[in-house]
């Protein structure tokens, strides 16, 4: 399957060979109960955190063995468990996955180490170690070159590891994690600070785990404040005065209070919005006045005594039919209204998942891209001093998400300068052939910024043949830009005019 941008004159082909794998659908909640089987049920006591292991983590120690342990499920808040076993000369471990989430392709990484201070990385040049366990069908566990770290190989929910003849006995530690791979790099490809390296170069899966990344990020004391702009202290130049903001919030009825909340994601998650990666929280407030009403918003961290700068936004017109789409595990850079079906159970709520016809296309194209990129020696044979295979993959995902999930343009300010770049999409003239959105009535699309296409062109190898349309030859049918000068106005701040201003006006979809 390929996805072709209707007006750009290019396509993404090269679908990888069919493989036997379980389908991956959106969502990433409670993942699996992992059982460590030895013999008896024994209590587990808390241990102090290890500075060398990824966070946030659960640290557990087993007082004695044999033991039968039912570990707590791994999830987005606590994606990692570090387990310490008592010293023993012979150790036989059996692992079972009790259940999977809707993202059934995401299996936990299990690393086992006999080092006093484990590095939790298999490293380069690891080898298969049949003596430590595995199965004939699934393959054998792998061992680091230094010999102190092993990675467990899963075979249909089963795994095992064996070590015998350790003299007086060595202490064994284990790391079970959803967020990291066998080299300690974050699977989502963001926030880890560790880029993949040759020869174990891996690219993120089509469906990313959306998790609260980093130690200390599991709790949040952020509060949202929304005030009608006409009653905002910004009108008096008191943008950063907390007492003035609180007074305005009380006098206007506390628009963002719990009674009006339709969404509260104060738990921060890693997202990539507007080209910037970081931990973000999300809120949804109801009881706003439709039809272009202006509002001013702040976030307040009560615990730290920190107040954000104000941001401004305006509501859509009454009857606007496109729901707000939140960042998802397929498209962490999407956060806007799109012509997708409403959630029938909660029609006023933002969408937190994508239809299967969209996720199928995203998966097919992202897998094809990974296959094409990894056909070369990523990390060794550099095609650019500025970009890597991982950069190409990220830029392509951002572009693909904007092509397959267009942004609705209803309610934009047509008097703004620059004027919004809008085109009409209908059943007979969809953006992507075969992907009909917006129903029989169609929708107005705020075109993606040409910068989203240019970013892929810059970041990816030339042999992928990804090309953006020229400004004078049909680019205006698919992308938003200003003028004919290729060095100006593609929607990026680097080329003169950013896609949005401080008042919430956006002339192209960044």
Total number of domains in the chain = 3
Tell which of 298, 321, 344 closes a domain.
Answer: 321
User: For residue 212, what pLDDT is reported?
Assistant: 45
In a domain, 188, yes or no: no
350 and 306 assigned to the same domain? no
Alpha-carbon distance 273 to 36, whole Å? 39
Letter string b/e over residues 88-124, b meaning 16 or more CB atoms within 10 A of that residue's CB: beebbbebebeeebebbebbbbbbbbbbeebbbbbee
Q: How many CB atoms lie within 10 A of CB 307?
A: 16
**pLDDT tens digits, one per residue of 119-154:** 788 877 788 999 999 988 889 999 988 888 999 998
Cα separation, 188 vs 217, in Å, equals 16
Task: Answer whether residue 505 is part of any domain.
Answer: no
Pairing mode, if any, of strands 158-163 and 44-46?
A: unpaired
171 vs 313: CA distance, rounded Å? 57
In whole angstroms, give the CA distance from residue 367 to residue 17.
Answer: 10
Residues 211-259: tens digit of each pLDDT: 544 433 344 678 899 999 999 999 888 998 999 999 999 999 999 888 8
Query: Are 290 and 408 in a shared domain?
Result: no
Q: Which residues contact 205 (CB under 8 A, 6 or more apart)?
A: 24, 105, 106, 187
Instruction: Provide the angle, in degrees to the nearest 10, between the axes of the packed helices 356-374 and 389-404.
Output: 160
Q: Are residues 251 and 378 in the same domain?
A: no
Is residue 421 included in any domain, yes or no?
yes
Our CA angle for 245, 248, 254, nearest 5°, is 100
**Same domain for 372 and 462?**
yes
Cβ-Cβ contacts under 8 Å for 336 (sequence gap 6 or more): 324, 325, 407, 408, 509
How much is the pLDDT for 25?
28
**140 and 279 fall within a common domain:** no
Task: Say whether 227 sits in a helix, a strand or coil.
Answer: strand
Please indicate, yes or no, whether residues 391 and 483 belong to a single structural domain of this protein. yes
Structure-token pair, residue 13: 């082909």
Residues 149 and 238 in one domain: no
In this prediction, residue 182 carries a pLDDT of: 66
* 41 and 99, same domain (yes or no): yes
266's tokens? 């104060």
Rounded to whole angstroms, the Cα distance separating 462 from 448 reads: 22
Tell whether 432 and 481 lie within a shared domain: yes
Instruction: Identify the segments of the chain with pLDDT beneath 70.
Output: 1-57, 76-77, 101-105, 166-169, 179-195, 209-220, 265-268, 270, 274-275, 277-278, 411-414
What is residue 74's DSSP assignment?
P
Give Cα 48 to chain centroid, integer Å. 30
Number of other CB atoms surrounding residue 68 within 10 Å: 13
Are 344 and 308 part of one and the same domain?
Answer: no
429: domain range? 3-13+333-495
Report how far residue 222's alpha carbon sits from residue 491's, in angstroms, rounded to the nearest whole number.
Answer: 31
CA distance 178 to 192: 13
Q: Is 0.75 topped by the overall pTM?
A: no
Looking at 289, 321, 353, the residue that finishes a domain is 321
pLDDT at position 24, please?
29
In a domain, 72, yes or no: yes
Q: Which of residues 321, 348, 378 is at a domain's end?
A: 321
> Is residue 369 located within the same domain as residue 294?
no
Evaluate whether residue 305 is within a structural domain. yes
User: Residues 342, 491: one domain?
Assistant: yes
Q: Is residue 124 part of a domain?
A: yes
Residue 507 belongs to a domain? no
Pair 72, 59: CB distance under 8 Å? no
Q: What does the pLDDT read at residue 214?
A: 41
For residue 213, tell me if it sits in a domain: no
């Amino acid at each position: 399957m390929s996805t072709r941008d209707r007006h750009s004159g290019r396509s993404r082909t090269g679908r990888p060979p069919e493989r036997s794998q379980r389908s991956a659908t959106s969502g990433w909640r409670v993942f699996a109960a992992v059982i460590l089987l030895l013999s008896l049920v024994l209590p587990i006591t808390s241990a102090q955190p290890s500075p060398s292991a990824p966070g946030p983590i659960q640290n557990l120690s087993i007082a004695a063995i044999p033991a039968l342990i039912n570990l707590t499920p791994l999830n987005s808040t606590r994606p990692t468990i570090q387990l310490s076993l008592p010293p023993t000369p012979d150790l036989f471990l059996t692992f079972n996955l009790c259940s999977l989430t809707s993202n059934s392709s995401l299996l936990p990484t299990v690393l086992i180490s006999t080092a006093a201070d484990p590095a939790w990385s298999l490293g380069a040049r690891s080898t298969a170690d049949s003596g430590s366990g595995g199965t004939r069908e699934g393959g054998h566990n792998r061992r680091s070159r230094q010999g102190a770290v092993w990675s467990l190989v899963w075979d249909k929910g089963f795994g095992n590891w064996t070590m015998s003849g350790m003299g007086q006995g060595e202490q064994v530690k284990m790391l079970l994690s959803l967020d990291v791979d066998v080299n300690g790099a974050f699977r989502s490809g963001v926030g880890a600070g560790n880029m993949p390296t040759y020869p174990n170069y891996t690219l993120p899966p089509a469906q990313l785990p959306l998790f609260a990344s980093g130690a200390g990020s599991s709790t949040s004391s952020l509060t949202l404040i929304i005030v009608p702009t006409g009653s905002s202290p910004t009108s008096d130049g008191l943008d950063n005065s907390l007492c003035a903001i609180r007074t305005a919030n009380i006098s206007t009825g506390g628009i963002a209070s719990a009674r009006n909340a339709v969404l509260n994601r104060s738990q921060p998650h890693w997202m990539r919005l507007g080209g910037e990666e970081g931990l973000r929280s999300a809120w949804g407030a109801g009881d706003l006045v439709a039809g272009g009403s202006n509002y001013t918003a702040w976030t307040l961290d009560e615990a730290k005594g920190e107040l954000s700068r104000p941001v401004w936004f305006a509501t859509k017109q009454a009857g606007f039919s496109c729901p707000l789409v939140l960042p998802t595990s397929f498209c962490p850079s999407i956060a806007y209204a799109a012509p997708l079906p409403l959630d029938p159970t909660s029609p006023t709520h933002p969408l937190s998942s994508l239809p299967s016809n969209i996720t199928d296309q995203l998966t097919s194209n992202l897998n094809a891209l990974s296959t094409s990129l990894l056909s070369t020696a990523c990390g060794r044979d550099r095609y650019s001093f500025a970009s890597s295979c991982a950069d190409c993959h990220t830029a392509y995902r951002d572009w693909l998400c904007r092509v397959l999930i267009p942004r609705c343009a209803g309610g934009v300010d047509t008097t703004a300068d620059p004027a919004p770049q809008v085109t009409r999409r209908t059943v007979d003239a969809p953006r992507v052939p075969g992907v009909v959105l917006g129903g029989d009535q169609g929708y107005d699309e705020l075109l993606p910024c040409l910068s989203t296409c240019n970013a892929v062109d810059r970041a990816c190898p030339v042999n992928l043949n990804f090309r953006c349309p020229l400004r004078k030859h049909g680019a205006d049918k698919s992308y938003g830009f200003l003028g004919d000068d290729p060095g100006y106005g593609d929607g990026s701040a680097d080329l003169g005019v950013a896609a949005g201003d401080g008042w919430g006006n956006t002339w192209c979809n960044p």
